[in-house]
Amino acid sequence: MRLSIIHCALALSLASLGSASSRDKRYQYLTVTHTVTGATTEPTPWKWDVNATTSFPIHESCNATETRLLQRGLDEAVALAKHAKEYILRYGNSSDIYTKYFGTAGTGEAIGWLDKLVSGDRGNSLFRCDNIDGNCDQAGWGGHWRGSNATGETVICPLSYTTRKPLDGLCGYGYTVISGALNFYFASDLIHRLYHVPQFGEGIVEHYADSYEDCLELALSDPALSVRNTHTLQYFALEVYAYDISVPGTGCLGEPASSPKPNQTTASATDTNSTPTSSAATVSRSLFVCYKALRSTC
């Protein structure tokens, strides 16, 4: 019955197209009467993200102080990853810092891996403080991924709470991106630990190159792998945060330990008259070219 009325209305509507005089008739069957009888129970609205875990679970084995310091470190890790993501969203591969670390790789994957830390569900991860595998007894251990003992779990040892620096101290304490340790700041240390957890790194973000120099090399030799390299993502995040937020417009990149002087490189042998410019972008670009040259000629 209802169907036939709709058909009728449609037929009338088509028949009257273009005819101004009968235009009003097109709508004569569209009156709808909705009778509400008594109190109705509205159906429960669909909640697509039911049971989502939006904060990092911290185990009860962490005491009050550890919990607060760890929570702060995780918040800082998210802030560090978030800025790196937003930097790529803003500048893409037009940034020399981007191409230095990721070569010709498209931007979507690095954005995605960083966003996993910023916006991803945290329900299959757990941070604990109870030295359950006994690894914290080893000198110098700040923590560890539990691996096959519990892939979603990370132990943070007491050493971390007394040594890892706050993100607000980035560029302080004599730290530079090139020569500083990636675990100097709790934020960058925790980015590393988070990528070991399958929920964030998916077994794809891994260790493919470790030192600063090796990370730059990877950008040239295998850009597709560079966007999945844990240390590359850490170096990149630290460099752009330092430059944009910690010491605006300056940062604290530092000097490459093995950086050849322009007059000492094979690469510059054919170009001895070139004078170095002071532009940060040019310096960054020439570093990129320099490492390329090292790779193929030295």
Q: Does 149 bind ligand NAG (CB under 6 A)?
A: yes
Tell me the C-alpha distance between 101 and 88, whole Å.
12
Part in contact with ligand NAG (CB under 6 A); list of ranges 19-27, 61-69, 73-81, 115-123: 61-69
* Residue 79 or 256 having the CB closest to ligand NAG: 256
The conformation of residue 225, written as its DSSP 8-state character, comes to: H
* Residue 14 or 64 having the CB closest to ligand NAG: 64
* Dihedral over alpha carbons 68, 73, 75, 79 (to 10 degrees): 160
Q: Does 47 bind ligand NAG (CB under 6 A)?
A: no
State whether the Cα torsion 111-259-175-251 is positive or negative. Answer: negative
Part in contact with ligand NAG (CB under 6 A); list of ranges 21-29, 38-46, 63-71, 197-205: 63-71
Contact flags string 65-84 toward ligand NAG, x per CB under 6 A: xx------------------
Q: Does 135 bind ligand NAG (CB under 6 A)?
A: yes
* Residue 33 or 94 having the CB closest to ligand NAG: 94
Part in contact with ligand NAG (CB under 6 A); list of ranges 64-72, 76-84, 163-171, 265-273: 64-72
* Contact predicate 291/213, CB 8 Å: yes
- Amino acid identity, residue 177? V
* Binding residue (CB under 6 A) for ligand NAG from 3, 21, 249, 261: 261
Per-residue CA distances from 168 to 10, 150, 186, 187, 242 (Å): 67, 32, 11, 10, 10
Q: Does 122 bind ligand NAG (CB under 6 A)?
A: no
Q: Minimal distance in Å, beta carbon 146 to ligand NAG?
A: 5
Q: Minimal distance in Å, beta carbon 184 to ligand NAG?
A: 19
* Binding residue (CB under 6 A) for ligand NAG from 75, 109, 121, 133: 133
Do the bridges between strand 153-156 and strand 126-128 make them parallel or antiparallel, or are there none, so unpaired?
Answer: parallel
Picking from 72, 99, 104, 75, the residue whose alpha carbon sits closest to that of residue 87 is 99
Part in contact with ligand NAG (CB under 6 A); list of ranges 52-60, 140-148, 174-182, 225-233: 140-148
Do the bridges between strand 153-156 and strand 143-145 make them parallel or antiparallel, or are there none, so unpaired?
Answer: antiparallel
Return the half-sphere exposure (C-beta side, CA atoms, 13 A cut-off) of residue 99.
Answer: 16
* Residue 86 or 133 having the CB closest to ligand NAG: 133
| Strand stretches in the chain, DSSP E | 126-128, 143-145, 153-156
Q: Does 138 bind ligand NAG (CB under 6 A)?
A: no
* Binding residue (CB under 6 A) for ligand NAG from 56, 96, 99, 170: 99
DSSP labels for 100-163? HHHTT--SHHHHHHHHHHHHS--TT-EEE-S-TTSGGGSTT--EEE-GGG-TTEEEE-HHHHHH
Q: Does 131 bind ligand NAG (CB under 6 A)?
A: no
Q: Minimal distance in Å, beta carbon 53 to ligand NAG?
A: 11
The conformation of residue 13, written as its DSSP 8-state character, comes to: H
Q: Which chain residues interact with ligand NAG by CB under 6 A?
A: 50-51, 63-66, 93, 99, 104, 133, 135, 144, 146-147, 149, 158, 161, 261, 263
